[in-house]
Amino acid sequence: MADIVVIFDFDKTIIDCDSDNWVVDDLGATDLFNQLLPTMPWNTLMDTMMKELHSQGKTIEDIAEALKKAPLHPKIISAIKAAHALGCDLRIVSDANLFFIETILKHHGLTDYFSEINTNPSFVDEVGRLRIFPHREFTTCSPSCGDMCPPNMCKGVVLERIKASVLAGGRKRVIYLGDGKGDFCPSTKLREQDYVMPRKDYPVWEVICSNPSLIKAEIHEWSNADDLERILLHLINSIIFGLRTSSLLSSDCKYQTIPIISAQEPLTPRLAAPRIAC
Ligand SMILES: [Mg+2]
Ligand SMILES: [Zn+2]
């Protein structure tokens, strides 16, 4: 076994869309979704949307059929299988929900490649309605998150737990892949020997580009499924064979000036100079 844990975000990382929006759009409920969006947290809204769809006569099978059509690039599938074959421990950290993720993984024959799925719990109730709950009790953001994490899930907390298990299990390196704002908090918890793969031109990449000093891990951006497969397997092989790598971010990164850490942020910038050139 390689001493590597690979942690994937799900929406817009494993699949090339947001599964929540995908289901809502496919089942024709986009207008209602947009109408309710300003009135409640996203996690509560998805549970409410499932209630609405159920009352409109949409079944759990209709939802599953929609999920099976979500785009998942063959290169992502081959990357997951190759990383697993190289002995990596693959996990998912996602703000979608368990039913959506398991339905999609099963459809593509990927269920057994992941040792753990950290996401919002969900189940089908006695009347056939999908219920979706928060991963954690709604809380105000932990001070270390700034305003990056939604109230129902801090991926940074999940990352800290995985890090503890990585150390306990003798595994040494973490590679984290993601695209969204919520992927920044866990990225700041990675160590110098770890790697973060932000999706270029997506929110987490923009935030990292604006705050490189908050990231200790080596940064390797990716744009599409081909990139993801090539870069991920390169990093895994480099770790296995003890080769040196260095952060790779495109030069346009330096033009990003989006302030993201809230004013009261207590994050302490590293003393060392940033390890990237953006
Ligand atoms: Mg995502
Ligand atoms: Zn957080």
Domains of the chain: which residue ranges? 4-17+71-119+146-255
- Which residue numbers belong to the known binding site for Mg(2+)? 9, 11, 179
Mean pLDDT for the stretch of residues 30-38: 97
Beta bridge partners of 160: none
Buried b vs exposed e over 117-153: b needs ≥16 C-beta within 10 Å? bbbbebeeeeeebbebbbbeeeeeeeebbbebbbbbb
- Cα–ligand 2 centroid distance for 20 (angstroms): 21
Pairing of strands 122-124, 130-132: antiparallel
**53 token code pair:** 């769809």
pLDDT of residue 244: 80
- CA atoms within 13 A of residue 267's CA, in its CB half-sphere: 24
- Cα–ligand 1 centroid distance for 179 (angstroms): 5
Does domain 4-17+71-119+146-255 bear CATH number 3.40.50.1000?
yes
**Is 54 within 8 Å of 78 (Cβ atoms)?**
no
Please, what is the average pLDDT of the chain? 88
Least confident of 55-59, 91-95, 154-158, 243-247: 243-247
pLDDT of residue 166: 82
Q: Is the pLDDT of residue 183 over 50?
A: yes
**Is 158 within 8 Å of 166 (Cβ atoms)?**
no
CA pair distance 227, 236, nearest whole angstrom:
14
Q: Is the pLDDT of residue 270 over 60?
A: no
CA dihedral (207, 208, 210, 214) in degrees, to 10, reads: 120
- Cα–ligand 1 centroid distance for 199 (angstroms): 9
252 part of the active site: no
- Which residue numbers belong to the known binding site? 9, 11, 20, 95, 179
Contacts 24+ apart (CB under 8 A), 29-34: 29/53, 29/56
